[in-house]
Amino acid sequence: MALSDRVLKRLDMYAVAALGAAAIPNPSAEAKIIYKHQDIRITQGYQCDPSHCIAYTFGHHHDPNFVLRDLTSGLYDAIRFTGFPQKHSQAVGTYSCRPIRCPSYAAAPVPAGAVIGNKALFGDPDALMWGTLHTSGNQRYYGKWKAPTDAYLGFRFQFNDKNRAKNYGWLHVVVNKHSVHATGYAYETVPGKSIRAGDIGHPGSGTLSDLARGKTRKTP
């Protein structure tokens, strides 16, 4: 399985430059939360192209901060959050995936309204979301994002190379049996300031899930 993991990572790194990155506009001085709606679906494939990967780029960087990918090597299928170490991008996750094992660090689904900040666990930049290993006609499963899962992926990143403080954000992801659907993301522009999963920054607007159900809540 380790070999397959490395193969997937190489595919990712070689092809990521060809992706159309989801660039986020530079926040204004008054901005607190930057939110962007998305409607992007990716499916499983062998190469990290726009059909199988989504790249996210923050600020003035030319290279992605992280990539959401759904790739296969034939032996091992994996949905992953891949942060680039030089951008200090990591996902909220866990080292324990009972009853389904994790080969190492795994990204964990975050419920709507949960706080994403310095008290959350951030581990390896390359975090498994869901994986399937095919061996001798059998299948072994790994991770926390078993389909169907509709939740938030919490992340942190370094927006400014001159400021080591991390910015926090969320990505709304729906994992289905045959696709991964990204519907929107947001991040807090103030380094070190936490954000609630689904908060889009407008008082009374509630979370992304609230909006989908026609509900609103006041921002604390």
**What digits encode the pLDDT tens for the residues 169-204?**
999 999 998 899 999 999 999 999 999 999 999 755
Determine the Cα angle at 9 with ends 131 and 53, to 5°: 75
State the average pLDDT for the chain: 80
E-state strands within 84-166? 90-91, 93-94, 106-107, 115-116, 126-135, 138-143, 149-157
pLDDT band at 134 (very low <50, low <70, confident <90, very high): confident
When comparing pLDDT for 54 and 3, which is higher? 54
The per-residue pLDDT for 113 is 96
Of 32-41, 57-66, 171-180, minimum mean pLDDT range: 57-66
> Given 3-state DSSP classes, what are the helix, strand and coil percentages for the chain, each rounded to the nearest 5?
10, 40, 45
The per-residue pLDDT for 202 is 76
| Token code pair at residue 174 | 């729906």
The per-residue pLDDT for 61 is 65
